[in-house]
């Protein structure tokens, strides 16, 4: 049984990303292709990385523009058959709805607040609400617009679950192993805690891909998360 993990293939080149994908395919359920890899190698990177793994694709492009442009961009990548496609919830209700209507067979995942942001960062941007309140508001607006998945940090996932109910997929980046380095993430938690709090899918990158043996690291994580 695979674990509810989306491995972030943030590799310097497509060959490395494909090697990581092959190494972890037995233990995880989703492969995440992000903006850097997609911009460097183009849409064809998806075919190479996904290969014959059969795993779902999480296309993490975080689209954010006027509704018409986001709809067009979503339609442009629909041929890659992603299970998930991210947009920024801060783009507003009309933008999220445009993406949803453009690709009805794809789960639009609305990103609330990047996990690199904290209370101080919000103050600098002139946002007086707390990170928690901001995330809840953005999640609510996105779901009202038709988003079927929400991306939020582990710190807010329990509150978001209460806000949006059980029918929405909650995706949590900012997941780090106990005792691990938070690196550029400000709001983190362990994988087990994130799942206990209501997450459905964990985005995990460097704890797996930065290991000497990514396959072994993914296998260990999957074993730790397996139901007792």
Active site residues per annotation:
62
Q: What 3-state class would DSSP assign to 171?
A: strand
Strand ranges for 75-228 from DSSP E:
84-88, 107-111, 149-151, 169-172, 201-204
| Tally of helices (H runs) and strands (E runs) in the chain | 11, 8
Residue 151, classed as helix, strand or coil, is strand
Q: Which residues contact 190 (CB under 8 A, 6 or more apart)?
A: 175, 176, 177, 178
């Amino acid at each position: 049984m695979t674990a509810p993990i989306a491995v972030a293939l943030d590799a310097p080149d497509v060959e490395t990303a494909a090697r990581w994908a092959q190494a972890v395919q037995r233990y995880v359920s989703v492969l995440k292709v992000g903006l850097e890899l997609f911009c460097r190698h183009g849409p064809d990177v998806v075919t190479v990385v996904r290969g014959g793994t059969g795993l779902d694709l999480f296309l993490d492009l975080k689209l954010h523009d006027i509704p018409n442009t986001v709809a067009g961009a979503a339609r442009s990548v629909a041929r890659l058959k992603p299970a998930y496609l991210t947009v920024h919830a801060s783009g507003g209700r009309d933008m999220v709805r445009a993406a949803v209507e453009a690709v009805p067979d794809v789960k639009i995942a609305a990103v609330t607040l990047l996990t690199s942001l904290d209370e101080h960062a919000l103050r600098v941007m002139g946002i007086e609400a707390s990170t928690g309140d901001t995330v809840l508001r953005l999640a609510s607006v996105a779901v009202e617009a038709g988003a079927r998945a929400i991306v939020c940090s582990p710190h807010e996932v329990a509150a978001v679950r209460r806000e949006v109910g059980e029918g929405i997929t909650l995706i949590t980046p900012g997941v780090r192993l106990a005792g691990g380095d938070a690196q550029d993430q400000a709001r983190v938690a362990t994988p087990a805690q994130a799942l206990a709090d209501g997450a459905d899918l964990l985005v995990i990158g460097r704890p797996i891909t930065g290991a000497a043996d990514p396959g072994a690291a993914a296998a260990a994580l999957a074993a730790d998360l397996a139901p007792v």
